[in-house]
Structure 1
Amino acid sequence: MTERRQYYRIDHPVVIEYQSVAESQVKQSPRPDQFAVSPYFLLQSQLRDIEAEASHYLHRLGEDQPAIEACFNMLNRKIELIASTLAADSFNLEQGQSQFINLSEGGLNFTCPDALEPEQLLALKLVFTETRLGMLLYARVRRCQALPDAAGYEIGAEFLDMPESCRTQLARLILDAQARKRQQALDLTNE
């Protein structure tokens, strides 16, 4: 039987932390609170949520007032630059080792030193090293497979009750990665 994937998957560098949690903790809050994070940890994500909300209005404004739209776009870029600088200064990437994970809107595969039981619930802290985007999510372990040479375990996990804003952020990140991959392939064929 062949498996058909519901979501497009990418390999992406991420610093990942995880903790086992009880089902009651998952039901208590849509975002895990098990991790100590700075006030800037979710800043990029929150700004992108606001940008998504405002984009419809900005587009409508641009139809009638293109100069005002251009001004708002410049202000948005300034805010993004400030947020990126704050986020870069606040993330302590030394706490975790970056690894390439296989990621989709539905879940992820990552490696870890410990075996995790299938159906085990996890709180996840993800830091996307390229964008400094931070996410706190819940997941359920779907599989745990030993890696060769006792190098740890590959964990397959499915996201649980992901907030829509996180799903949107992941979709954008995946689309951007796809676009970069296509551009790199085009650049190679044009050489």
Structure 2
Amino acid sequence: MEQDRRQFYRIDKWVALEFQLLETDTQPQDYPLPGTFKVSPHFMLHAELQHLNLAIEQHLSSVDDASDKLLQLFQLLNQKTDVIANSLTASDEPGFNIRADLVNLSEGGLSLSYPISLAIGEKASIRLFMPESETGLRLMTEVKRCESQEGGGYDIGLEFLRMPEACRMELARLILRSQIDQHKAQPIESTDD
């Protein structure tokens, strides 16, 4: 993986992903097939609403002088929004443990924070969701690095295995778009002589 770090441009990016370790006795022919899949435009709605719900709950818990009726009204409005979001995303069953994560991503692999230690060589199935292009990638990975992090958890380095060309191209587009966005976001330096 160290060689891959030099061969591919890497970006830090927030992505939605699913991560599932494979049983150690899983044979390569039994791995889920890598490839691309369609992502609903409503996919991120549920995750965004969960973040908003946490913020609302924090604000409501800090309001001491509000009437009980006002608090109940806010809770009902919050539930109403949840019902609408759930109906929009009901057919978008994402699968196993979806989460938003800041990852370091390249065409060769990715690194992410993980709560438990993983053994070098363990295999995992990953699904990366890219709602901006309404595309997702299903990829097989192998653990190449597992280092303890300050404050808990582990920094896990994963290498992509048997990546189809369509996935590599979509990943390259995502990385290029992210590079362009990062470049646009940088302030322009003044060149006064």
* TM-score normalized by the length of structure 2: 0.61
Amino acid corresponding to residue 113 of structure 1 in structure 2: P
CA separation of 1:125 and 1:26: change in aligned 2, threshold 3 A: farther
2:57 equivalent in structure 1: none
Larger Rg: 2
Following TM superposition, by how much is the alpha carbon of 1:134 offset from its aligned partner in structure 2, in angstroms?
1.7
* TM-score normalized by the length of structure 1: 0.62
* Cα RMSD for the two superposed structures: 3.2
Task: Confirm or deny that 1:136 pairs with 2:162.
Answer: no
**Contact residue 143 and residue 156 of structure 1 kept, 8 A:** yes
Following TM superposition, by how much is the alpha carbon of 1:25 offset from its aligned partner in structure 2, in angstroms?
4.3
> For this pair of structures, how many residues does the alignment match?
142
The one-character-per-residue Cα deviations of 1:41-67 (angstroms, maximum 9, x if unpaired) are 8125xxxxxxxxxxxxxxxxxxxxxxx
After TM superposition, the structure 1 = structure 2 runs for residues 1-191 of structure 1, keeping only pairs within 5 Å, are 5-21=6-22, 22=24, 24-28=26-30, 31=33, 42-43=37-38, 84=41, 89-90=88-89, 91=92, 96-128=98-130, 130-150=132-152, 152-185=153-186, 188-189=187-188
Question: Secondary structure, in 3 states, of the residue corresponding to 2:166?
Answer: helix
The runs of 5 or more residues in structure 1 that have no matched partner are 34-40, 45-82
The runs of 5 or more residues in structure 2 that have no matched partner are 46-87
Following TM superposition, by how much is the alpha carbon of 1:127 offset from its aligned partner in structure 2, in angstroms?
1.8
Greater shift, 83-92 or 123-132, is seen at: 83-92
**Contact residue 123 and residue 139 of structure 1 kept, 8 A:** yes
Question: Secondary structure, in 3 states, of the residue corresponding to 2:151?
Answer: helix
* Alpha-carbon separation, structure 2, partners of 1:86 and 1:145: 32
Amino acid corresponding to residue 116 of structure 1 in structure 2: L
Matched-pair identity in %: 34
